Amino acid sequence: MSDRDRAEYDRVVFIDRSPDAVFEFCRQGENFAKISPERITPTRATRDTVVKPGGTYVFRHWISNVIPMRWRVEIVDYEYGHHYVDFQRRGPFRYFRHTHTCEPEGSGTKYSDRVEFESYFGPRVDRLIKRRLASVFAHRQREMKRLLEDEP
């Protein structure tokens, strides 16, 4: 598949916290599992760290809470307070690139997730995966919003 044939998924949410607060939340390894609708077990090193440029992070992602899949990502682009990009180096996709972006908006933050992906199974399966990503990221963003806005 060429770059333009890759599937894409975008989702945006407003969070009533500063971009720095939202970005810091996203950087904390302990928060990965808190916002996931599926069981994700970060390795101890990943759970106890923060996202930084060039960092590599390893997870055991339980697909449908049953099938374990080892997933390793590397931070390939990083601008503190604004965005970072994790790129799959090993995992369930042929290609997977996830951009997290925090932008000031009014009194809070416009937070967005952008995923570009390609499965091993072609465009038909990618359309199904895109629907699943919509559910996963809706949950993740709801949990982020809840946890961040409930903080003092």
Beta bridge partners of 118: 95
Task: Going residue by residue through the chain, which has 152 residues, state the pLDDT in tens, using 9 for 90 and above.
Answer: 455 579 999 999 999 999 999 999 999 988 888 898 877 776 666 666 889 999 998 888 777 777 888 889 999 999 999 999 999 999 989 999 999 999 999 999 999 999 999 999 999 999 999 998 999 999 999 999 999 999 76
pTM: 0.90
User: Which strands, in side-by-side order, build the sheet including 95-105?
Assistant: 7-15, 108-118, 95-105, 83-90, 67-79, 56-63, 40-42
Q: Which CATH number fits domain 3-150: 3.40.50.300, 3.30.530.20, 3.40.50.2300, 3.40.50.970?
A: 3.30.530.20
Q: What is the DSSP string of 1-20?
A: --GGGSEEEEEEEEESS-HH
For 58, the token pair is 């390893």
Strand partners, 73: 57, 88
pLDDT at 63: 73
pLDDT at position 1:
46
Phi, psi of 51 (to 5 degrees): -65, 135
Give me the pLDDT at residue 90, please.
Answer: 95
* One-letter amino acid for residue 121 of the chain: F
pLDDT of amino acid 3? 56
The C-alpha atoms of residue 55 and residue 38 are separated, in whole angstroms, by 23
* Nearest-angstrom CA–CA distance, 59 and 50: 14
